[in-house]
Amino acid sequence: MNVGFIGLGNMGGAMARNLIQAGHAVIVWNRTPSRVEALKSIGAKVAASPGEAAKAGTVITMLADDRAVESVVYGEEGILESLPDGGVHVSMSTISVALSAQLAKAHQNAGQHYVAAPVFGRPEAAAAAKLFVIAAGSPEAVKLIQPLFEAVGQRTFNAGEDPTRANVVKVAGNFLIASAIEGFGEAFALARKSGVEPEKFLEILTGTLFVAPFQKVYGQIIAGEAYEPAGFAAALGLKDMRLVLAAADASGVPMPMASLVHDRFQAALGRGHREKDWSVIARLAAEDSGL
């Protein structure tokens, strides 16, 4: 199908490539034009503006944060102005629940569809078309774009008709990963100070109960203190914790563990770890133990 794709970063670039390779006609736009070349070489058209990409009738946004999404949706040559009647904006970025609610309303008022479809998976999973897609929006729109999800992911979950629910699930999921990392960080610090080799500790943890792939990935990083290069930077982790806390505040939910993890990211940045992998929060417990 015809689809516009906006945002060609580590995640978006890989997703757009997979869409093309699955046979879709993709027209891309990126703020930094240099990123479009690789896609162009495999058959992507290049749009001169977000609005031009939106004219494809279906447009995916995969951008860094709320501000970036707002900048391509609103204003002249923006998505809202150019998306055809009945067209679909598929918002796959990790954005705030509040912005998602606002976009849902704006598109509805404009006679357009809005589907929130954030994903779980690091860049490697995006490259391998192994993302998990959490979609929410009107059933007809979600059904229409299902082929796109199949081209980028291994499985799609439907979180209901209210698009914001997909965003809630996404920010809650990222909180759960981050809090597991913090837990590992504290546990590894205890193990090391108690004379247990990190590799031995990792082997036991991941050989017994903590067998989810993400636990193995982060356990290895932490045991080896291999926080660079970053797969997902600490500064983005902080952003994600702000998103979950904003959602919690709006819903009246106290989340003390999320608060703790948020403060850890803030401290990681303050202690010079901004550009390292977000799992570097595990380093803080070690530092605080004199390791």
**How far is residue 38 from each of residues 14, 250, 265, measured CA to CA in Å?**
10, 41, 34
**Of residues 180, 222, 233, 282, which one binds a second copy by CB under 8 A?**
180
Q: Does 6 bind a second copy (CB under 8 A)?
A: no
Q: Which of 123, 113, 148 is nearest to 133 (CA)?
A: 148
170 as an active site residue: the answer is: yes
CA atoms of 196 and 63, how far apart (whole Å): 42
Site string for a second copy, 47-66 (x = CB under 8 A): --------------------
Range 205-264, binding a second copy (CB under 8 A): 205, 207-215, 242, 244, 247-249, 251-260, 262-264
- 55, 170, 216, 239: which is the annotated catalytic residue? 170
Q: Does 82 bind a second copy (CB under 8 A)?
A: no
Q: To the nearest whole angstrom, how small is the minimum distance from the Cβ of residue 94 to a second copy?
A: 14
Instruction: Provide the token pair at 42.
Output: 């495999």
Site string for a second copy, 159-178 (x = CB under 8 A): xx-x-xx--xx--xx-xxx-
Q: Which of 1, 126, 97, 140 is nearest to 58 (CA)?
A: 1
Q: How many CB atoms lie within 10 A of CB 212?
A: 12
Range 181-210, binding a second copy (CB under 8 A): 182-184, 186-187, 189-191, 193-197, 200-201, 203-205, 207-210
Q: Does 73 bind a second copy (CB under 8 A)?
A: no
Q: How many CB atoms lie within 10 A of CB 173?
A: 17
Give long-range contacts, CB 8 A cutoff, 24+ apart: 198-203.
198/222, 198/223, 198/224, 199/223
| Catalytic residue IDs | 170
